[in-house]
Structure 1
Amino acid sequence: MEQIPTINYRDLESNDKELSKFLEDSLNDVGFFVIKDHPISSESIDKLFNFTQELFDLPLDVKMKYHLKGTNGARGYTPYGIETALNKNVPDQKEFWHQGSCSNPDLANNLTINELENFDDINSLYKEFEKLGIKILESISNFNIDFNADLKEIAVDGNSVLRLLHYPPVDAQKNDDRAHAHNDVNLITLLVGGNEGGLEALDKKGNWVECNCEKNEIICNVGDMLEIISNKKLRSTAHRVKTKNNEDKSRYSIPFFLHPRPEVILDPETNLTANDFLNKRLSDIKLG
């Protein structure tokens, strides 16, 4: 398999025209790229992975105290066997925790797991990811594209979500799809690489491309909302998580889904808002 391209965060900050063209071409081809030397410290990421494992090691009855029915999985715990990829009948093999905006009072409140120490540290990490995501959107706004919205401001205090994700051990000979092929609904996704491989993206030629990165790197991809705002000049890419080498063990991953504020209009012709689009998708994937 081919590999997705890698760029340096300092180059991304420079808003260099040649880099912008390279990045635009890459996003149009496979929709994914890797960021190295980013400002989120390796210590913070290590801490977040350790915290993630501690969370999912809690007994199920404890975790279920933080499962809020009727909230579309927007906050707190979502158990194994609920989220189902679009047009699929079998649920993905995962459980996850959602932590959202810390600064927009119009959005749902976050939950705190009383059984874990220093839980509030996750909010500072949320803010780091949000800041990084907004900076990447600012760089994308310099592409030679007429966007339907101002990318420099639509995600400020947006409906973004930090997801702590656990794929439990599976029998790969029975089902090696830990997450079926799907497109992200949001603007862009920032993914701290999982402790195991398995993420693959579908390029324009119909080939599945491995999306691996080093421990101190972050994978970024385009979501459906950015595809709409760019009038389909940037493509949201189907991706999946496979079980590699038939290894029957847990996989942990930490994606950050950068969303606009709910009232932001994605398509002026139809007055489609981010909130309307999100709610429709959540219903489609069995979270609504």
Structure 2
Amino acid sequence: MIYVGVTGWGDQDSLYQAGTNSGSKLKQYAGHFPIVEVDSSFYAIQPQKNVERWVKDTPPSFQFIVKAYQGMTGHQRGEIPFQSKEEMFIAFRESLEPYQTADKLAMVLFQFPPWFECTRENVNYLRWCKEEMKGLPLALEFRHQSWFSPQFHDKTISFMTSQNWIHSICDEPQAGSGSIPTVLKPTNKEATLVRFHGRNLHGWQKPSAGNWREVRYLYRYNEKELSEWADHIKALHTQSKDVYVLFNNNSGGDAADNAKQFIQLLDLDYEGLAPRQLDFFDHL
């Protein structure tokens, strides 16, 4: 199956009626897409009560891709708010239990920062993460070009395959060592993840200090670009049972529109979505 969605449900204004409160947005989002990436888990390990509410607000077939907490991937500035890394991983695993109970956990995404280079120490840390996550489905996304340099490209793919990591394939600007090329190589027969970050090269290279996220992900894919990717997705689907596609170009409100356009290009028709609220004029 090919699943298409976006990263986060809070900023997708084109999906919601005016005045929709934040607590109702996920319910409405689930009427449009079968998957979503949970970003809030990156900034703080979420209490189970939050996860239970999200699970309850979505249809039985809905799936969550949960981003690993920043302390687990080396983004955390300063000391982690736990006694040990082991305690941090235990807390994160416990936060996932409601997803698992409802069979709604597609995978956990470990996205590493641009300073996480291809070194022996970091490879060993990836092994340790795999062990700590106790067999859960894990996706791996790099942000440092060294992992796919000519010297390490094949070794990286071989390592991910042997460890059963789900490859998070990226479409993003090519902006030196802090970006990675698009590597169309699945490493897990069950699943492959594709994330669209946009192609705003200027914003990627020179983000503003205060609003770098808004600048970096400001991009709208055109039909030619999406059509090329539709062919890639179909090819990836021959090698992985499920392909999950997430649009992360949220800054200008383009992600949801591009995701819907992509669903049409792939001629996908999802069953089991949440009922949509009718617009006032729909019944006239």
TM-score band (shorter)?
A: under 0.3
Structure with greater proportional helix content: 2
Greater relative contact order (Cα < 8 A, sep 6+): 1
TM-score by length of 2: 0.27
